Amino acid sequence: MPFTLQEGWLSPARHCESPHQDDRPDADISLLVVHCISLPPGRFGGPYIDDLFMGRLDSSAHPYFEGIYQLRVSAHCLIRRDGELVQYVPFHRRAWHAGLSCFEGRDKCNDFSVGIELEGTDTGDYTPAQYRVLAEVTRALMQAYPAITPSRITGHSDIAPGRKTDPGPGFDWTRFRALL
């Protein structure tokens, strides 16, 4: 199913607007960063990713959450294991996904990138539905933001080496690029 983009929002997608966003310093959207997340680590499903990105994660729901519940983070989108697409931040706004980062000598990747989370782990595999939806979303983004080219699609580990490892060795870049 092709996605359409209107006023920074993809359709069809579940929209869940995060308070963890702000204005971009300029309109240059020229990088796509692929991430992964699971909450608690290694567990899939449930409300916890939404809760983290919405700033309402209950620290008492799991011991791991005691160390992260106050984080102010977000991504533009999440692709769940079954292929469900959730969008938290409109693309023309800055999501807080990359942290301390650098791409081709340019720091602060949040300023010019789109962040897409895959529900998964750094060490696990991703589902066929996730690859399909990621490719469809990527095609829509490349059409809307022509500066995002195949060479400007990267992993979190590549823009924050030594600090981040996602999407990990289980992410099949060759498979993903073939779908584009």
Specify which residues 153 forms β-bridges with. 32
Residues of the chain with pLDDT under 50: none
Question: Residue 157 and residue 167: Cα distance in Å, rounded?
Answer: 7
Question: Residue 162 and residue 159: Cα distance in Å, rounded?
Answer: 10
- Residue 26 is predicted with a pLDDT of 86
Tell whether the torsion through CA atoms of 15, 21, 22 and 26 is positive or negative: negative
Cα–Cα nearest to 129, from 84, 174, 170: 84
- Residue 115 is predicted with a pLDDT of 98
Residue with tokens 């600090």: 163
User: 21-61: per-residue pLDDT in tens?
Assistant: 999 998 899 999 999 999 999 999 999 999 999 999 999 99
Let me know the angle formed at the C-alpha of 36 by 72 and 43, rounded to the nearest 5 degrees.
Answer: 95
Specify which residues 113 forms β-bridges with. 31
Q: Is the pTM of this model over 0.95?
A: yes
- Residue 1 is predicted with a pLDDT of 67
Q: How many helices (H) and strands (E) does the chain have?
A: 4, 12
Give the residue numbers annotated as catalytic, written as ranges.
Answer: 117
N residues, the chain: 180
- How many other CB atoms sit within 10 Å of the CB of residue 49? 22
Q: Are 164 and 156 in contact (CB under 8 A)?
A: yes
Q: Using CB atoms within 10 A of its CB, is residue 171 exposed (0-12), middle (13-18) or buried (19+)?
A: buried
- Residue 161 is predicted with a pLDDT of 96
Q: Which domains does the chain have, with CATH numbers?
A: 28-179 (3.40.80.10)
Distances (CA, A) of 100 to 63, 108, 109, 157, 168: 26, 6, 8, 11, 18
Residue with tokens 């799991």: 62
